[in-house]
């Protein structure tokens, strides 16, 4: 499947184009991986437990880091910006990426 045909929900890997993440396929959330050179995407079907874990990770990322990797109608919803209060956002960001000391 061509990556332009995907209904992207959340991106976990991005390098000029979305390379991996979550998409909506046949009404359910599934994983996708895109080959950078051919821009062809592969759908990886998830079990209900895997789907729950993927959506949980998406939710945690949105709370701790931001919504800049979330897509609505296959378009990026927001771009990265520091939220207020700044100290709390930096703490959550570091907590998510396990950089706190």
Is residue 84 one of the residues assigned to a domain? yes
Q: Is residue 45 part of a domain?
A: yes
What is the Cα–Cα distance from 101 to 54, expressed in whole angstroms? 27
Do residues 40 and 1 make contact, with C-beta atoms less than 8 angstroms apart?
Answer: yes
16 or 74, higher pLDDT? 16
- Residue at 101 is within a domain: no
H helices present in the chain, as ranges: 48-64, 86-96
Residue 12 lies in a domain: yes
Structure tokens at 72: 């609505």
Q: Please state the pTM of the whole predicted model.
A: 0.77
Q: Could you report the per-residue pLDDT of 24-79, keeping only the tens digit for each?
A: 999 999 999 999 899 899 999 999 999 999 999 999 888 888 888 888 777 776 77
pLDDT, position 99 = 58
- Quote the crossing angle between the two packed helices 86-96 and 48-64, to the nearest 10°: 150
Is 65 a member of any domain? yes
CA distance 21 to 73: 15
Task: Please tell me the total count of domains within the chain.
Answer: 1
Domain of 12 in residue numbering reads as 3-96
* Domain membership flag for residue 13: yes
């Amino acid at each position: 499947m061509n990556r332009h045909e995907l209904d992207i929900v959340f991106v976990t890997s991005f390098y000029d184009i979305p390379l991996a993440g979550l998409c909506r396929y046949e009404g359910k959330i599934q994983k996708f991986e895109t080959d950078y050179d051919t821009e062809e995407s592969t759908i990886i079907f998830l079990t209900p437990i895997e789907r729950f874990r993927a959506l949980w990770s998406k939710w945690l990322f949105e709370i701790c880091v931001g919504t800049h990797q979330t897509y609505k109608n296959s378009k990026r919803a927001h771009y990265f910006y520091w939220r207020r209060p700044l100290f709390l956002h930096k703490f959550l960001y570091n907590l998510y990426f396990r950089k706190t000391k």
